[in-house]
């Protein structure tokens, strides 16, 4: 029979998952609304 408490003590997360999570959370990309604002500002500068 499997002792789940003992198995959980042995558990170590996969390094790939930790690295992926870090890359996702550290990525500072704007959302669509930020991109649209930036494009509008660029177009306004070009018109002047």
Domain spans, the chain: 4-47
Contact 38, 30 (CB under 8 A): yes
**pLDDT value at 41 more than 90:** yes
Q: How far apart are CA 20 and CA 23, in angstroms?
A: 5
Distance of CA 41 to the CA centre of its chain: 26
- In terms of pTM, does the model score above 0.95? no
pLDDT tens-digit map of 16-29: 877 888 877 777 77
Of residues 10 and 27, which shows the higher confidence score?
Answer: 10
User: Residue 46 half-sphere exposure, CB side, CA atoms within 13 Å?
Assistant: 6
The percentage of residues in the chain with a pLDDT greater than 70, rounded to a whole number, is: 96
């Amino acid at each position: 029979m499997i002792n789940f408490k003992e198995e959980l003590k042995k558990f170590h997360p996969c390094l790939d998952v930790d690295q992926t999570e870090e890359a996702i959370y550290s990525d500072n990309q704007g959302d669509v609304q930020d991109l649209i604002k930036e494009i509008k500002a660029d177009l306004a500068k070009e018109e002047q």
